[in-house]
A and B are shown apart, each in its own frame.
Chain A
Amino acid sequence: MKPNPFVEATLTYCLTYINKCLHLRPRHSLTAAHLTILADNDYYSNDPTKSGKGRFASFHTTISKAPKTGLGSSAALVTSLTGALLAHYLADSFDLSSADGRRTLHNLAQIAHGAAQGKVGSGFDVAAAVYGSCIYRRFSAEMLADLPEPGAAGFTARLETLVNTDWDGRIKDFALPEGVAVRMVDVHSGTQTVGMAKGMLEWRRKNPVRATELWWGLHGLNIFLEQQLRTVGGSLEHVAETIARCRAVIRVMSKESGVPVEPPLQTELLDRISAVQGVYGGVVPGAGGFDAAAIVMQDDESVLEEVRKCCESFSKTHVKVNVMRVKGEMEGARMEDVAMFDAWLTN
């Protein structure tokens, strides 16, 4: 079996932390365990290798060969593995519904995820996996700078301290207003985008004045968007206009940096979908690129059907795109009924 750095890092960091906690109590030790992972179907594209009804499909292929959608799942994987390990070994002290429990899960999953990626990212993906929808300000990367490598002297003590302290990031709950949905479109462009973040940071370093101007311009527009999409006190009247203005700045960023945050193919797709009645607009999510689009729209079957039709006609003339069933939701990590694993738990 091909090594999986995310699984391996999660086990290393979690078991170290858990073993330390267990040592405080006599007659507890790390015992052998079996972890079973089930991923919802939207993480993988519809294709002939996928079969089975029910909630979880089976694939006639290995995990590395299964065609993935643009959703990305590493943060959700690390977070759910971490949560399951904590809930299993620390059953009498870990409580996922408490603020302390979520902090433990968040800090540990951030550290493991960063270690698996070989760098400390902004951490927004792990934050959403733990806390659900939120307005996220990152933690300082320096916080993790003095954590020794696993196996090195003093690793356990430093890890324990880091996991058990409040970090300097900020996570503010966010919920979309009633009647508004965010849906994802899978774009099968066949174009891989690598090194986009690196390219953009390089451009920013070389053009600090211009970059600052664009960054703060977009910052202000993002605040507008957050306010307008707020459940209480928001107003949907100008959402379409605000999204269009955000995209305009993003296209300037793309053009001047040469990094395809919103490449022309996506501009065409987003413009067409935005013209559908009941759609507020769409963006290329995250770092941008070719593989996905996020659509803000009325949460309504007839609007969804129109967006589907729009995607079908785009697929005929450009590249294949399809609306996924996946939808934005508020809730973060949670305990689940093990009944969903029935038929999947074998030895």
Chain B
Amino acid sequence: MGSPTVAVSAPGKVLLAGGYLVLDRAHHGLVLGLNARINVAARRITTSPGVQLTEIIVSSPQFHQGQWRYGFHLAGDDGGITVTQLRWSGIVLTICPFRDTKQ
């Protein structure tokens, strides 16, 4: 059935020594990981049988309006997966009032 939710985290960093020098392969930098981390959980979106969604939802629930939705499709010529951001709230009506054209 659906794969279980998985989660991965990665630490922030501080470049303690080697600012600017680290841009150059002749030099190096001393970088420390920090215990402030970004955590990401991934899970499958379950759909009804026969329905296939090609969508990725990315949520950042600590913030207002923290959600992005993306559609994806396979590009030709070995061009990989192309990702397009979708309108986040489902239906978005675009109204063009007449007064705009008079300005």
Contacts and interface: CB of A to CB of B under 8 A. Distances in A.
A56 B62 CA distance: 8
Which applies to chain A's interface (DSSP): helix, strand, loop or mixed?
mixed
Interface residues of B, number: 75
A4 B44 CA distance: 22
Which applies to chain B's interface (DSSP): helix, strand, loop or mixed?
strand
B41 to A, nearest CB: 5
A61 interface: yes
Contacts of B56: 11, 15, 32-35
Interface residues of A, number: 122
B22 A124 contact: yes
B1 interface: no
B33 to A, nearest CB: 4
Nearest to B13: A128
Given A11-B70, A336-B39, A124 B29 contact: yes
Interface string A197-215: 1001100000000000001
Given A37-B40, A83-B40, A197 B32 contact: no
Contacts of B13: 72, 75-76, 124-125, 128-129
B100 interface: no
Nearest to B72: A15
Contacts of B45: 31-34
Contact of B68 (A7, A150, A159, A226): A7
B29 A135 contact: yes
B16 A11 contact: no
Given A87-B42, A122-B29, A285 B21 contact: no
B3 to A, nearest CB: 6
B66 to A, nearest CB: 6
Contacts of B36: 39-43, 71, 324, 326
Interface stretch (A136-144, A300-308, A309-317): A136-144
Contact of A215 (B24, B41, B81): B24
Interface in B1-26: 3-26
A72 B53 CA distance: 34
A30 B5 CA distance: 16
A335 B20 contact: no
Given A80-B38, A129-B11, A328-B32, 7 more contacts: A12-B82, A15-B56, A31-B45, A77-B38, A88-B43, A153-B78, A338-B4
10 contacts: A12-B83, A34-B43, A35-B56, A75-B10, A76-B11, A80-B10, A124-B29, A197-B20, A250-B19, A338-B5
